[in-house]
């Protein structure tokens, strides 16, 4: 029996994707060669890359709208630096929403390249809410936000409205809910939550915003270089890109983001319902800002901890310990997490 995998990332992927991926590692496309031992420039792999990029734009409803999809490396963490390199002119200023650890890390890197204004922050309450009613200065090259705060379990429901460029780190909720993705000029996400294995980073960028900073950009950090080379400026992460393609095919076959969003809401609702009604548990994030991907909660009676922990472990649940900066528990219920696994956790909470 597989475990009920609530890990925050790397995390659960669909079983059928894992099966197809493992087959391709042995014999890809009946070539009698492994996916990971053929040239990335072979027709078979180029087709994978093209299909993966195509599926991204199709699922986000950004096809033929002037966007490019890129599969890069270096994780979302390298995007913290690539974004200002590509969008912040020398002497320019950018605005950041500080909604958690990952936002702060993005701010730290951007400060290497220019003047960074923190427009609003929820650090005062250990990031348990999303700031609202903040003013956005008019002299910014772009505004950066983090759609879902993986560690704290908060999620932006209303994105900043701005006349300047809007950039979003969607590492932990991309492809999980329907949004007007065209409100963003640049989206990035490490693959290892809703898309595939760690090792590739998705970037979706509006072509027309690039090449305007006057900066000399190192080739590997230049989005225009990667666009011109179809994400093959250097050897791409072939296996993570292939598995991402399989996951995106899986999502499309389910009915796309709209369909998965309904399932994600159902999963989050049964878990939050239990947290809100069971006096032994308390949610960490403010209700109106809580995440449908990472559900953070604590026990109100520590004397129950031993029993709770031993029961969920015995039931085959894995990965629900909270991040060290929050404590308590975090149940990550990404796209591939079945409703039945969430029900197993809820039943254990009920019986405690
Ligand atoms: N942003 C968010 C929202 C994340 O959750 C993470 C990783 N969990 C990162 C950025 C960093 O991603 P990576 O490890 O791919 O650099």
Distance 169 CA to ligand 1 centre (A): 8
* Ligand 1 atom nearest residue 9's Cα: 8
Tell me the per-residue pLDDT of 191-216, one tens digit each, with 9 for 90 and over: 999 999 999 999 999 999 999 999 99
Task: Measure the CA–CA gap between 242 and 40, rounded to whole angstroms.
Answer: 11
pLDDT for 69: 98
Structural element, H or E, at residue 128: none
Task: Measure the CA–CA gap between 200 and 202, rounded to whole angstroms.
Answer: 7
Distance 298 CA to ligand 1 centre (A): 23
Q: Please give the torsion angle defined by the CA atoms of residues 74, 77, 78 and 81, in that order, rounded to the nearest 10 degrees.
A: 180
Tell me the per-residue pLDDT of 258-290, one tens digit each, with 9 for 90 and over: 999 999 999 999 999 999 999 999 999 999 999
Structure tokens at 23: 């087959």
Res 166 pLDDT > 90: yes
Distance 311 CA to ligand 1 centre (A): 30
Residue 250 catalytic? Answer: no
Task: Measure the CA–CA gap between 148 and 202, rounded to whole angstroms.
Answer: 16
224 labeled part of a ligand binding site: no
* Ligand 1 atom nearest residue 146's Cα: 3
> For residue 174, what are the contacts with CB-CB under 8 A and spacing of at least 6?
147, 187, 189, 193, 194, 195, 202
CATH code of domain 15-254: 3.40.640.10
Gyration radius from the chain CA atoms? 21
Res 12 pLDDT > 90: yes
Res 1 pLDDT > 90: no
150 lines ligand 1 (CB under 6 A): yes
Fold of 4-12+256-351: 3.90.1150
191 lines ligand 1 (CB under 6 A): no
235 labeled part of a ligand binding site: yes
Nearest to 233 by CA among 79, 49, 67: 49
Task: Measure the CA–CA gap between 19 and 44, rounded to whole angstroms.
Answer: 19
pLDDT band at 291, cuts 50/70/90?
very high
Beta bridge partners of 167: 144, 186
Locate the domains of the chain by residue range. 4-12+256-351, 15-254
Structural element, H or E, at residue 124: none
200 lines ligand 1 (CB under 6 A): no
> For residue 221, what are the contacts with CB-CB under 8 A and spacing of at least 6?
78, 81, 82, 85, 86
pLDDT for 59: 98
Q: Please give the torsion angle defined by the CA atoms of residues 275, 276, 282 and 287, in that order, rounded to the nearest 10 degrees.
A: 110
- Write the burial class of residue 343 (CB in 10 Å: 0-12 exposed, 13-18 middle, 19+ buried): middle
Task: Measure the CA–CA gap between 55 and 49, rounded to whole angstroms.
Answer: 10
Task: Measure the CA–CA gap between 17 and 217, rounded to whole angstroms.
Answer: 37
DSSP 84-122: HHHH--TT-EEEEEE-SHHHHHHHHHHTTTSEEEEEEE-
194 lines ligand 1 (CB under 6 A): no
pLDDT for 50: 98
Res 128 pLDDT > 90: yes
Mean pLDDT, range 137-155, rounded to an integer: 98
pLDDT band at 46, cuts 50/70/90?
very high
DSSP 257-281: HHHHHHHHHHHHHHHHHHHHH-TTE
80 lines ligand 1 (CB under 6 A): no
* Global pTM value: 0.98
Mean pLDDT, range 23-38, rounded to an integer: 98
pLDDT for 173: 98
Tell me the per-residue pLDDT of 220-238, one tens digit each, with 9 for 90 and over: 999 999 999 999 999 999 9
pLDDT for 84: 98
Burial 269-291 (b: 16+ CB within 10 A, else e): ebbbebbeeeeebebbbeeebbb
pLDDT for 135: 96
């Amino acid at each position: 029996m597989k475990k009920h995998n609530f890990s925050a990332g790397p995390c659960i992927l669909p079983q059928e994707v894992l099966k197809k991926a493992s087959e391709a590692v042995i014999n890809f496309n009946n070539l009698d060669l492994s996916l990971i031992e053929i040239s990335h420039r072979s027709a078979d792999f180029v087709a994978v890359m093209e299909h993966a990029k195509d599926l991204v734009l199709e699922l986000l409803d950004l096809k033929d709208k002037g966007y490019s999809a890129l599969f890069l490396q270096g994780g979302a963490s390298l995007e913290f630096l690539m974004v200002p390199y590509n969008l912040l002119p020398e002497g320019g200023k950018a605005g950041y929403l500080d909604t958690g650890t990952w936002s702060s890390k993005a701010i730290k890197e951007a400060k290497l390249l220019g003047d960074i204004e923190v427009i609003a922050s929820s650090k005062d309450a250990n990031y348990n809410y999303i700031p609202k009613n903040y003013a956005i200065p008019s002299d910014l090259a772009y505004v950066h936000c983090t759609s879902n705060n993986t560690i704290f379990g908060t999620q932006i429901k209303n994105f900043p409205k701005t006349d300047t460029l809007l950039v979003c780190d969607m590492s932990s909720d991309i492809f999980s809910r329907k949004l007007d993705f065209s409100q963003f000029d640049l989206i990035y996400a490490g693959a290892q939550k809703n898309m595939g294995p760690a090792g590739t980073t998705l970037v979706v960028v509006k072509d027309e915003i690039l090449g305007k900073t006057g900066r000399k950009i190192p080739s590997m950090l230049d989005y225009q270089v990667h666009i011109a080379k179809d994400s093959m400026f250097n050897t791409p992460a072939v296996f993570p890109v292939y598995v991402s393609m399989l996951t995106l095919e899986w999502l499309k076959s389910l009915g796309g983001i709209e369909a998965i969003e309904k399932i994600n809401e159902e999963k989050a609702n049964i878990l939050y319902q239990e947290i809100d009604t069971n006096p032994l548990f308390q949610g960490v994030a403010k209700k109106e800002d809580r995440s449908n991907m990472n559900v953070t909660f604590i026990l109100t009676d520590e004397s129950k901890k031993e029993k709770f922990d031993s029961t969920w472990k015995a039931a085959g649940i894995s990965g629900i310990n909270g991040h060290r900066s929050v404590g308590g528990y975090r149940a990550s219920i990404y796209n591939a997490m079945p409703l039945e696994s969430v029900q197993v956790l809820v039943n254990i909470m009920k019986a405690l």
